[in-house]
């Protein structure tokens, strides 16, 4: 029987940059992903299917072996803190930075800091390393709104061009990590489907080296 490989992709911005890379690897979805509401896509290879997930769910599928290979932002992987998967390759796509940001001209906060973010684990570690006491407030989106409405003094979020921060009266402040998308592989699958998975990892490596 043919060995089936399931590749979990992150939808949205990362997906747009992933598809050309997948094509360079020789994997082409059987239909247009963007104009479909499907979550599972067959490809030009009978043995390979794609699933389309929210970024933060990709490491979960990989951890439990529901997918063999995944593509997710390093921000998501840092926050997930799971195991059960390897991270063999930096794909160099969807580059950005994970940063703190504060309102323009905000006074230095001397007391206890309130920080809004969806990256609670990353933020906890960062402020601890900085030796700063911080109360973390979990949000699921639109972090930039929190300082405007006084929910938080600052935020931890992804910054690419900085336009989103600027449009909301914020400025980037502390750099936490350089982010790009990574290829991840379920540890058990790496053993049981080694030949097939290694071939795909190698093809990604070549595609990254020769964009
Ligand atoms: P920008 O205005 O270009 O700084 O983009 C900032 C917003 O776009 C952030 O709030 C993120 O939600 C999103 N974003 C930008 N780049 C990425 C990326 N590589 N991965 C995930 N989200 C991103």
* Domain containing residue 127: 96-178
Nearest CA to ligand 1 atom 19: 94
Nearest CA to ligand 1 atom 16: 160
Question: 92 exposed, middle or buried (CB, 10 Å; 0-12, 13-18, 19+)?
Answer: middle
Is residue 30 located within the same domain as residue 76? yes
Distance 160 CA to ligand 1 centre (A): 5
Is residue 18 located within the same domain as residue 28? yes
Closest CA to 26 of 205, 209, 203: 203
Is residue 13 located within the same domain as residue 65? yes
Are the CB atoms for 172 and 73 separated by under 8 Å? no
Give the per-residue pLDDT at 197: 98
Is residue 89 located within the same domain as residue 184? yes
Give the per-residue pLDDT at 110: 82
Instruction: Assign residue 116 the CATH number of its domain.
Output: 3.40.190.10
CA dist 16 → 8, 9, 22, 76, 144 (Å)? 14, 10, 11, 17, 24
Is residue 193 located within the same domain as residue 156? no
Distance 181 CA to ligand 1 centre (A): 13
Distance 97 CA to ligand 1 centre (A): 9
Give the per-residue pLDDT at 108: 84
Is residue 129 located within the same domain as residue 151? yes
Distance 159 CA to ligand 1 centre (A): 5
Is residue 58 located within the same domain as residue 34? yes
Nearest CA to ligand 1 atom 11: 158
Provide the H-helix boundaries in the chain. 13-25, 58-63, 74-80, 120-129, 145-148, 163-167, 187-192, 194-209
pLDDT in tens, 32-64: 999 999 999 999 999 999 999 999 999 999 999
* Full-model pTM: 0.96
pLDDT in tens, 141-197: 999 999 999 999 999 999 999 999 999 999 999 999 999 999 999 999 999 999 999
Is residue 129 located within the same domain as residue 158? yes
Q: How many helices (H) and strands (E) does the chain have?
A: 8, 11
Atom of ligand 1 nearest to the CA of 141: 12
**What angle do the packed helices 194-209 and 13-25 form, to 10 degrees?**
110
Is residue 152 located within the same domain as residue 131? yes
Contact residues of ligand 1, CB 6 A cut-off: 13, 73, 94, 96, 157-164
Is residue 146 located within the same domain as residue 172? yes
Domain count, the chain: 2
Is residue 87 located within the same domain as residue 104? no
Is residue 18 located within the same domain as residue 78? yes
101-130 residues labelled b (16+ CB within 10 A) or e (exposed): bbbeeeeeeeeebbbbbbbeebbeebbeee
CA distance linking residue 192 with residue 196, whole number of Å: 9
């Amino acid at each position: 029987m043919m060995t089936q490989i399931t590749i979990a992709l992150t939808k949205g911005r990362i997906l747009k940059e992933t598809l050309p890379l997948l094509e360079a690897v020789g994997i082409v979805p059987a239909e247009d992903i963007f104009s479909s509401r499907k979550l599972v896509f067959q490809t030009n290879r009978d043995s390979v299917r794609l699933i389309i997930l929210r970024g933060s769910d990709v490491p979960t599928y990989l951890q439990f072996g529901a997918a063999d290979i995944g593509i997710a932002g390093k921000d998501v992987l840092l926050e997930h803190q799971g195991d059960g998967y390897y991270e063999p390759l930096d794909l160099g796509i969807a580059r950005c930075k994970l940063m703190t940001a504060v309102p323009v001209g905000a006074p230095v906060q001397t007391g206890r800091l309130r920080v809004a973010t969806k990256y609670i684990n990353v933020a906890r570690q960062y402020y601890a390393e900085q030796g700063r006491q911080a109360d973390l407030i979990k949000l699921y989106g639109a972090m930039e709104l929190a300082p405007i409405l006084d929910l938080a003094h600052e935020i931890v979020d992804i910054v690419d061009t900085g336009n989103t921060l600027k449009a909301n009266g914020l400025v980037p402040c502390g750099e936490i990590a350089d982010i790009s998308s990574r290829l991840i592989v379920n540890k058990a699958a790496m053993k049981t489907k080694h030949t097939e998975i290694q071939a795909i990892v190698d093809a990604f490596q070549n595609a990254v080296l020769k964009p």
